[in-house]
Structures are given as structure tokens and as C-alpha cells.
Structure 1
Amino acid sequence: MFAWEQRKLGEVAEINPSSEIPDNFEYVDLESVVGTEMIAYRRENKKTAPSRAQRLAKKGDIFYQTVRPYQKNNYHFNLTRKDFVFSTGYAQLRPNINGDFLFVYIQLSNFVNEVLNRSTGTSYPAISPSNLIRMKVAIPTNNEQEKIGAFFKQLDSLIALHQRKVKYLISTSVVYL
């Protein structure tokens, strides 16, 4: 076992990088992500899109739900498309460490509980990007990041596959009384 170091989230990821929104794009709102899965998006035009359509996704970005973070509706964007724009209800994290590892880390209950401690509001607790970037994260100092990230990415894929199979089996089964 190797030593891990404490770093601020803002040191291991760029938060909300600025970018130019394309004229037409796929919009991802807070309801579009459930758990770690993007379940929906809609085509929008820059002129008529909601004002919160501001976060242009780049492959590898992590979108952290800043409103009601206890829901853990966060998304690791691994598509190569350049026309996905996320709501400002997400903090956009552009990791400069292993993104798979960071994504697993921000889903941990300890991290989420600390986020909730720094959030404001009771019905809809939310954390500001300026508070989020000061959050501490424990980072392995060697290739453990890659190993941990790869393991949990594979595990998440396996869970998602089994959830889809269960959903399919339930939808196709016939119940006799």
C-alpha cells in the first residue's frame, strides 16, 4: 500500500472551463442523468435554449450535480461528440488526474457527505463551484489511480448491463394469476 496525498479538488481538476456553445447542440438537464447514466437529452438551438445551457462537454469531463448532490446523479462524459451541452446545475470538472478514479471518488458517501456539509439550503441543498473546488480529495501518488478507476469502471458497466437485463426480463414477462 502506498501513501495517498490530500489535494483540493481545484488542484486535480479544472472547474467550469469556459467555452463557446455551438449554434445547435444536445442539451443535458438535471433530469437527464439518473445515477451515473445519461438517460435523455434534447436537441436545442443556441438562440432558444435555456440560459442554464452553458457547459460544453469534452471527452473525459465529469459533470457533478451541485443541486441535491445526495442523489449522486453525476456523469462521466466519454463520448467523442462535441455538441453536448450540460446545465449549470452541474459543475464541470476537467480532470488532470485519472478521470475514472476521480469519478469513483466523488461518488463516495464520505465525499458526498462533506459536500452536503458545505451546501446551502435545506429542501434543495446546493454547493457553489467556489466551495466545491476547496473540497479535499485523497489521491494515490502512483499508478493506483488507474487500477482503481479501471476496476470500478468495469464494475459499473457490469452493474448497468445486469440492470438492463432485469428491466428487459420484467418488461417481457407475463404474469398469470
Structure 2
Amino acid sequence: MAKIDDSVKKKVPELRFPGFTDDWEERKLGELSNIVGGGTPSTSNPEYWDGDIDWYAPAEIGEQSYVSKSKKTITELGLKKSSARILPVGTVLFTSRAGIGNTAILAKEATTNQGFQSIVPDQNKLDSYFIFSRTNELKRYGEVTGAGSTFVEVSGKQMSKMSIMVPELSEQQKIGSFFKQLDDTIALHQRKLDLLKEQKKGYLQKMFPKNGAKVPELRLAGFADDWEERKLGEIGTFKNGMNFGKSAMGHGSPFVNLQNIFGKNIIDDSNLELAESTLKQKKDYSLIKGDVLFIRSSVKPSGVGEAALVTKDLPNTTYSGFIIRFRSEIDMDDNFKRFVFGSKKVRNQIIARATSSANTNINQDSLGLIQIGLPSFEEQQKIGSFFKHLDDTIALHQRKLDLLKEQKKGFLQKMFV
């Protein structure tokens, strides 16, 4: 294999806007911008705080592209009594200590504490969103370059030495504008998704009766009868799963583990692990349509008792010893089961009855005492159908969001040198 000459570097991106043909140039970040650190006025002097100047801490820099209102503010006097400086609109905030590389663009003049080395672009040489879109490169450089005995930190001097490939300003602006539009679309879809999840949370609280109530606060039209209060132990049976040795894992028949339940309410059989099980075990630990699997033991306390519905018969499939199977002996709508066990009333009962040692646990006896409200089968179907539609809509928005993020990842790889 011929050795590649390291001196020959790629000078144009794989994907480019029409009208641009010139090679990109290698420049130092400090040649294209000023790198500005931050500072903190004395926290014991009230004259320095609650002023008109926004003052950012690293924890405030998250998923959003633009920031325009900080949690804390300082006064003019506070600014003078610290090493902080006013940063103009368009500055790319860059966290330079533990948690290196979180970025955001200032949409309003502000300053920061000393946890930043912020990039103030020279408007004649560097586009703000162009450099902001290169967060992954900035982060990687900061993590590799940063040093410190107590914690990793990258200095402004180090940041200014970072080499980047850049085109002429007009092409930078075109690229920056493209990624801004893409980020705005992603943010819009994220807000829609978050809103739908909040709506679902609200409906789960209002469409199932609270403690002591015989009807829910919010009800679908056409239903007026009281719900019947039943204990799970009265309406079905429980069975703990089985534990497999290390040598039995990774081959054999499908096996439901905790990860197939956490954060879900249905069992997706398309990505199950495998475990070597006998014919008797397959029979004893069978899974059929309508079964509900509860997490029996969880490192995370909030995970105990999470439940997921088995939506179809799963022949030859077994389940983990950290799971309890509930099999209803009365007619219950499957989709109703899928959501009733995520309602606040049921979750509160499970958390209250769970015990803690190394893990947080719930057993069959405790689950058997959990009380749920049961409306008529027809109302169960309506409620189940309502929440299924809501979950399907959430899943659709999640897929759209994931696709947009994947597209962005692809563009980032192809549109920069």
C-alpha cells in the first residue's frame, strides 16, 4: 500500500453550494477571531449582582443554538471588578473546563464566568454560525489540548492556535445560513415532541381516577358509570422470570431483559437478546398476547415497577429473573393495560411499596395489592385507543427528529474540510 503524503491535504469539501470553486485555506482560529475569557465578581458584594448585564455560567449552555437571557446578572460595577468583558451579539460561547465544548451563540450582548473561552468572530473574516456549526471540531480540539491537574481546561491561547480550514466569507455565510435553518427546524420538531410528551403526562393524570375518586377528572364522551376498584392480585396471576448463567447468554431463543422495558410501554420483539432455554422453561416462562411485564428490581429507584405490554404471542421467548409477568384473568383491553400501569396513581403505589437494598425491588405480593380503577370494557377500549394514537404521534415526531439529526450529521461530514 502506497504511503499517503501527509503534506497533501484536502482543500475542498465533498458537498458544495453552486458558484464556489476556490480552495479552502488553513488558518488559525486566533487569526479570524478574538478568544475572550470570563470572570466572576465577588459573590459576597451585593453591589455587583442583579444588574442589567447578562452573565452566563457553563450549565446554562445546552441544546439551544441561541441564548438571550441568563439566570444571573451583574452590574456595571461588578463587570469592572472582575476579568469579565462584554461580548457582542454573534459571539460563540465555548465552555473551556470540565464539560469542554458546549457552545451557543449570543443573541444579546452579555458576559460569562471564567468557565468559558468565547470566540468573537472578526466580521470580515469569520461567520458566527459557520464556526458554531463546527462544534464537534472545537470540542475535540479542546478535549485533546486541555490540561490541568485538578480538571481539564483549555486556555484562550491554546484555542487561538487551533487550525481550521475556511473558505471565503460569502461561502461561510451560505454554509452558516444553511445549518442555522436546519438547526431551527430541529429545534421546532424538538419543541413539538416535548409538548406532546407533556400533554401525554397531563392526560395520564386526568384520564385515570386519583386516589379515592371513582371517576377520572377528564372523561371521553358517552361514559358516566363509576370505575370499579380492583387489586391486581384479584384479577390476574404473577410469575417471576428466570436467571440465566453467562454461558447460556448470546445464543438460543429470544429473551426479554430489563432494557426492553425501561422507558417503553410495549415489548419490541425485533431486538431481543438470546438465551439458551429448555422446552420446559419455554413453557413455564412463556409470553402471550396481553401479558404485562413489570421490572422487579432496578438500580434506579424510579425504574422499579415500570411495565410493558406483550402485544402478540412470543413463542419460545422467556424473560429475565428481574422481571415479573402479570397475566390477567378477566377481560381487559390490551391498550388500556399498556397505559393504566403508567398512570400516576399506580406508579405512586408501586414506589410506595418498593423496598431498597443494593437495588430497589418490588415483589409479587406487593404488586398484588396495587389497586387500579377499571371502567367498562368499552371505555377501556376508547381510553386505550386514545393513548395509542398519542403514542403513535409521539413516535412519528421522534422518528422525524432522529432523521433530521442524522441528515445534519451527514451534511456536517460532507460540507466541511
Number of the residue aligned with 1:76: 309
Judging changes above 3 Å, is the alpha-carbon distance between structure 1 residues 109 and 55 closer, same or farther for their aligned structure 2 residues? farther
SS at the partner of 2:289? coil
Letter aligned with residue 151 of structure 1: F
Match of 2:253 among 6, 21, 25: 25
Q: Report the Cα offset of residue 117 of structure 1.
A: 0.6
Deviations 1:83-122 (A, max 9, x none): 2211122221122222221221111122112111111006
Distance (whole Å) between structure 2 residues aligned to residue 109 and residue 28 of structure 1 = 25
SS at the partner of 1:34? coil
Counterpart contact for 2:229–2:373, Cα < 8 Å: yes
Number of the residue aligned with 1:92: 325
Judging changes above 3 Å, is the alpha-carbon distance between structure 1 residues 80 and 165 closer, same or farther for their aligned structure 2 residues? farther
Normalized against structure 2, the TM-score is what? 0.37
Deviations 1:27-54 (A, max 9, x none): 111123331154632222126xxx9xx7
Question: Do residues 9 (structure 1) and 206 (structure 2) align?
Answer: no
Number of the residue aligned with 2:262: 34
Counterpart contact for 2:288–2:313, Cα < 8 Å: yes
Letter aligned with residue 8 of structure 1: K
Number of the residue aligned with 1:119: 354
Distance (whole Å) between structure 1 residues aligned to residue 315 and residue 302 of structure 2 = 29
Question: Do residues 46 (structure 1) and 277 (structure 2) align?
Answer: yes
Higher strand share: 1
Q: How many residues are matched?
A: 168
Letter aligned with residue 76 of structure 1: L
Number of the residue aligned with 2:193: none
Judging changes above 3 Å, is the alpha-carbon distance between structure 1 residues 157 and 123 closer, same or farther for their aligned structure 2 residues? farther
Match of 2:297 among 67, 83, 88: 67
Distance (whole Å) between structure 2 residues aligned to residue 130 and residue 78 of structure 1 = 25
Structure 2: where are the runs of 5+ without partners? 1-223, 242-251
Judging changes above 3 Å, is the alpha-carbon distance between structure 1 residues 125 and 6 closer, same or farther for their aligned structure 2 residues? same
Judging changes above 3 Å, is the alpha-carbon distance between structure 1 residues 103 and 144 closer, same or farther for their aligned structure 2 residues? same
Match of 1:169 among 391, 404, 413: 404
Q: Report the Cα offset of residue 124 of structure 1.
A: 2.4
Distance (whole Å) between structure 1 residues aligned to residue 352 and residue 240 of structure 2 = 25
Deviations 1:120-153 (A, max 9, x none): 0065221101110111111113521111112112
SS at the partner of 2:297? coil
Distance (whole Å) between structure 2 residues aligned to residue 111 and residue 60 of structure 1 = 18
Judging changes above 3 Å, is the alpha-carbon distance between structure 1 residues 4 and 84 closer, same or farther for their aligned structure 2 residues? same
Normalized against structure 1, the TM-score is what? 0.80
SS at the partner of 2:294? strand
Distance (whole Å) between structure 2 residues aligned to residue 62 and residue 166 of structure 1 = 29
Q: Report the Cα offset of residue 57 of structure 1.
A: 1.0
Question: Quick check: which has more Rg, 1 or 2?
Answer: 2
Letter aligned with residue 26 of structure 1: P
Counterpart contact for 2:339–2:387, Cα < 8 Å: yes
Counterpart contact for 1:116–1:125, Cα < 8 Å: no
Structure 1: where are the runs of 5+ without partners? 19-23
